[in-house]
Amino acid sequence: VRCKTFSEVIVTQGDHQYVIGTRLYVDKRKITRIDSLVTDKGDWLFNANAYLKYSSGEDWSVPQKAKRVSGQQLINAANSYLDMFSDKFVKAPWGRPCARLEGGAYTNRDGKKDATCEVGIPAGVLYIVNRDYVVDEESGVINVFCRFGNSSTGMPDSHTFRLVNGQFTNVHTLSVNLNPNAPSPQ
């Protein structure tokens, strides 16, 4: 009757490549709201071709029922990851193998069975605010729309996490750079 969806759309053809994270809000079988983050050149680690290549090779299949976690556990796991940006002592449920895809940068290019998403969090304190969740218990996936920094001017961001047996197996990040004078590393 009432739900939210999250989809990633990757456009690699044409002169303007981009990746979109879109949410649809549905109430009584009608779309009541649409939110989108559109990333393109100049956004955090943006590379649509790499995003398509690496995400296409990942396993996002529905885990066996015994390997699923509750919606609250999905929220707790996502929050632990995002909380690490302000508290380096927070523990996240890192799994192996795990791959992190940020804009186009990928942590498991070689498909290693012992790969980890635990590749570091930037130094300093950065609060992740305005967190809004789409939780899919059956798929073991949670998407978080949020902002890095100030609630009105911080970097708009989407983090999508897949958990199996309560541990991260995949992390996708789409981050919109609002400051053209501070370009993303490429």
Report the pLDDT value the prediction gives residue 181, as an integer from 0 to 100: 65
Report the pLDDT value the prediction gives residue 159, as an integer from 0 to 100: 97
- pLDDT exceeds 70 at position 89: yes
Q: What is the pLDDT of residues 29-88, one digit of tens each?
A: 899 999 999 999 999 999 999 999 999 999 999 999 999 999 999 999 999 999 999 999
Q: Which residue has the higher pLDDT, 123 or 22?
A: 22
Report the pLDDT value the prediction gives residue 112, as an integer from 0 to 100: 84
Report the pLDDT value the prediction gives residue 58, as an integer from 0 to 100: 94
* Segment (H or E) for 33: strand 30-39
DSSP 10-25: EE-SSS--EEEEEEEE
Report the pLDDT value the prediction gives residue 149, as an integer from 0 to 100: 87
Q: Please report which confidence band the pLDDT of residue 93 belongs to, taking 50, 70 and 90 as the band edges.
A: very high
DSSP state, residue 150: S
Report the pLDDT value the prediction gives residue 182, as an integer from 0 to 100: 62
Q: What is the pLDDT of residues 6-17, one digit of tens each?
A: 999 999 999 999
> In the chain, helix, strand, coil percent, each to 5?
15, 40, 45
DSSP state, residue 66: G
CA 181, chain centre distance (Å): 25
Report the pLDDT value the prediction gives residue 180, as an integer from 0 to 100: 65
Beta strand 30-39 with 94-102 is: unpaired
Residue pair 6/26 in contact by the 8 Å Cβ criterion: no
- pLDDT exceeds 60 at position 1: no
Beta strand 167-175 with 94-102 is: parallel
b/e per residue 113-147 (b: at least 16 CB within 10 A) = eebbbeeebeeeebbbeeeebbbbeeebbbbbbbb
Q: How far apart are CA 116 and CA 36, in angstroms?
A: 29
Give the residue-averaged pLDDT of 117-130. 86
